[in-house]
Amino acid sequence: MESVQPRSSSSATFTLEQFRHQAPRELNTNPYLQRQAARESNARSYPRRIPLALQEAHGLYVRDTQGQLFMDCLAGAGTLALGHNHPVAIAAMRQTLDSGLPLHTLDLTTPVKDRFVEDLFNALPENFARHARIQFCGPTGADGIEAALKLARIATGRKPILTFSGGYHGMTLGTLSLMGNLGPKQALGSLMADVQFLPYPYDYRCPFGIGGEAGIDAGLHFIEQLLSDPESGVLPPAAVVVEVVQGEGGVIPAPVRWLQGLRQLTRKYGVALIIDEVQTGLGRTGKLFAFQHADIEPDILVLSKAIGGGLPLAVMVYREELDTWKPGSHAGTFRGNQMAMAAGGATLRHIISENLPGHAEVMGQRLMEQLRQLQGEYPCLGQVRGRGLMVGVEVVSDTPSDSRVPAADTALAQAIQRQCLRLGVILELGGRHGAVVRFLPPLIIQAEEIDVLVELFHVALNNALAETKGRALHIA
């Protein structure tokens, strides 16, 4: 597949040449960061690892208050599919503002909302869209998942929910109940009841210790036994919630055959399949929707992040047979965000017209191929994986271990992130022990920018090894 060069670039304000012709610098505390630390909650997270005060942003690049340019390969945790301040999204917002449209409408309809729904349903697989309903949720993905849980329980009359180790679905009490990461849950005591965790097909660290096709078979067999065994101890579930690619869990793509098997099992046992595409939706993985890689359809689909064109919006689309709940069963004051619907609809149309999913597939392959070349030279890069422009590098220890794979190296991953930031690249960490370096650049990133990104990652890796290990910079 050939890469598609988007006709509408995000902006000419910042360029790759400008970015390349700046010297690396140490990140110093400035008054903005000092005031933020003094006044904001202790729960703030990103500023601790990415201590930046941002002033301007265009496309892939952001500029901080000290004039330094950065490649933003976090992109609002995947929200900014077209990058910062893309002309298509900005024009849609301006047109909405100039039209006099009420910006706050609860769930009353408007021409903007009507067009957004039509655009989204036209983008969905035809068979799914033909028999679907949509619920506008509060403006976060977590609220979309909460709505999905309610709908599944009401429609099936069951209570248990199945979820997966390593999963991330939000930070509300209900969605925390579905989270694999123990840290945010430990201080809270009781969360939502009737949640059962299942093993996710994480081939590199297979929960069954076998990996490969045998690991897929074992995972599907485990799920079927749980659903069919009258002595399993688990009551018939209302739903199973799954990410096609676990994001915060470490960029772990589920194998196609496993997804197809999960769809067959949920259908066989009457369990609603909830697919969380909050981070993967709208082209991120090389398909418009990540579930299309497996040629399956969900019963309930949750979308947020990119669906709002950079503004807060979350929706749930589901099979009409499930639409048995009563008026007011789920609501939210800001579910009528007209600006987000305008920007989101324009973004969706642009993604489709420019074939940005195809572009993301090609750019993601280019990124992973170059990272895998580095992996051959650096044993600390345990695995490079991903789909499209959702890529992760698992950083591991070179200390001998009795386990099937090396232990995660959290300290080295953190040092790589710091050194990347010093060189002007914003990356995030995730996965077990925070040892997976995650790449989530805007879908508009170009081939030469991928090349520079990997060059800088290589330099940062050498610097991080020197910082943490005190050993030779290059490992043959």
DSSP 411-424: HHHHHHHHHHHHTT
Query: H or E stretch including 71?
Result: strand 69-72
Distances (CA, A) of 143 to 7, 153, 290, 331: 35, 16, 20, 10
- 162 DSSP 8-state letter: E
Cα separation of 220 and 223, whole Å?
5
- Across the range 32-40, mean pLDDT stands at 92
CATH class, 16-72+356-469 region: alpha beta
pLDDT in tens, 189-215: 889 999 999 999 999 999 999 999 999
Q: Which pLDDT value is given to residue 432?
A: 94
pLDDT in tens, 236-259: 999 999 999 999 999 999 999 999
Cα separation of 215 and 399, whole Å?
26
Distances (CA, A) of 161 to 35, 84, 261, 281, 458: 42, 37, 18, 23, 43
Q: Which pLDDT value is given to residue 12?
A: 55
Q: Which pLDDT value is given to residue 398?
A: 83
- Across the range 142-155, mean pLDDT stands at 97
Q: Which pLDDT value is given to residue 26?
A: 77
Q: Which pLDDT value is given to residue 363?
A: 98
> Is residue 369 very low, low, confident or very high in pLDDT (cuts 50, 70, 90)?
very high
Residue ranges per domain, the chain?
A: 16-72+356-469, 88-353
> Is residue 469 very low, low, confident or very high in pLDDT (cuts 50, 70, 90)?
confident
Indicate the pTM of the whole model. Answer: 0.94
Q: Which pLDDT value is given to residue 475?
A: 34
Q: Which residues contact 226 (CB under 8 A, 6 or more apart)?
A: 162, 196, 198, 232, 234
Q: Do 16-72+356-469 and 88-353 have matching folds?
A: no
pLDDT over threshold 80, residue 396: yes
pLDDT over threshold 80, residue 403: no
Q: Which pLDDT value is given to residue 470?
A: 62
pLDDT over threshold 60, residue 471: no
> Is residue 5 very low, low, confident or very high in pLDDT (cuts 50, 70, 90)?
very low
Q: Which residues contact 176 (CB under 8 A, 6 or more apart)?
A: 170, 184, 185, 188, 191
Q: Domain 88-353 carries which CATH code?
A: 3.40.640.10
> Is residue 473 very low, low, confident or very high in pLDDT (cuts 50, 70, 90)?
very low
pLDDT over threshold 70, residue 116: yes
> Is residue 2 very low, low, confident or very high in pLDDT (cuts 50, 70, 90)?
very low
Q: Which pLDDT value is given to residue 247?
A: 97
pLDDT over threshold 90, residue 27: no
